[in-house]
Amino acid sequence: MKRIEPEPDWPQSWKESYFYDQSEIYGEISHYGYAYAYENRRRETLRLLIEVLSPGARILDVAAAQGNFSLTLAELGFDVTWNDLRTELADYVRLKQDRGKIAFAAGNAFELAFPSLFDAVLITEIIEHVAHPDDFLAKAATLVRPGGYIVMTTPNGGYFKNRLPKFSECTDPAVFESIQFKPNADGHIFLLHVDEIEPLAQRAGLVVEKIALFTNPLTAGHVKMETLLRILPRRIVQLAERVSRSLPWPLKKKALVQMGVRFRKSSP
């Protein structure tokens, strides 16, 4: 992935993307909790994919923003299609592309259509931004071949600090349609709980293969621990993360911030 430098005449969306790239890929960290949490999410996402797919497989990266997962997967030898609602971000991703195969398909995720199905669809940190997560997952499933996969990451709705509504308890999700697709944490509508994953999967014709919970409050810099993250050695933070992942499942559902899920599409 190429290192790029900002220009004064960049569109605002490029400037915002570069701000995140500073922490995600350039190591210029202003918020240590974000950087550690992103590192965990990246590692978990790649693991969930690489466990079941080999280089050459076709992957659609939905709402891929500045394309860091798309670019990484392309460099690993996957055949990647990048998507985002913001058409102008495609050229930002092209600036960073060093090697590998990436196609670009900007547009609304609910309206995507392709001549052939993908081996996997990647939906990282997007389902919490839509008013109808059930419809969104079902749409993603239509883009995957039978026996293919959807890999999703999203904040864990059962985390003790979550104050957002539970999707399965909402009587009329349509009231949130006017505010969906907004970026960043301010755009979160629902945060899915672990017990909501299986019903959503069944409705979409998917099988839940794996659910992983990760990133504890220290790693994420929550409950005023961001200052502590700045002084603690990385090995201590990583040790605390490993210990927290070994907690009993009921405790993990309350104590860990992020969720990764791998779905498999049922055969006809």
Task: Extract the tokens encoding 199.
Answer: 């019903």
Q: Which whole-number Å values give the CA distances from 49 to 28, 44, 152, 260, in the listed order? A: 27, 9, 10, 11
Q: What is the mean pLDDT of the chain?
A: 96
How many CA within 13 A on the CB side of residue 223? Answer: 11
List pLDDT tens digits, range 98-109.
999 999 999 999
pLDDT digits (tens, 9 = 90+) for 137-154: 999 999 999 999 999 999
Identify the CA nearest to 38 among candidates 7, 8, 68, 78: 68
Using pLDDT thresholds of 50, 70 and 90, give the confidence band for residue 183.
confident
How does pLDDT run across 223-243, given as a tens digit for each residue? 999 999 999 999 999 999 999
Task: Note the pTM of the prediction, 2 decimals.
Answer: 0.95
d(CA 172, CA 9): 42
Q: How confident is the model at residue 182 (pLDDT cuts 50, 70, 90)?
A: confident
Q: What angle do CA 5, 9, 12 make, to 5 degrees?
A: 85
Q: Residue holding tokens 């697709």?
A: 181
Q: Which CATH class is domain 12-265?
A: alpha beta
Mean pLDDT to the nearest integer, 18-31: 94
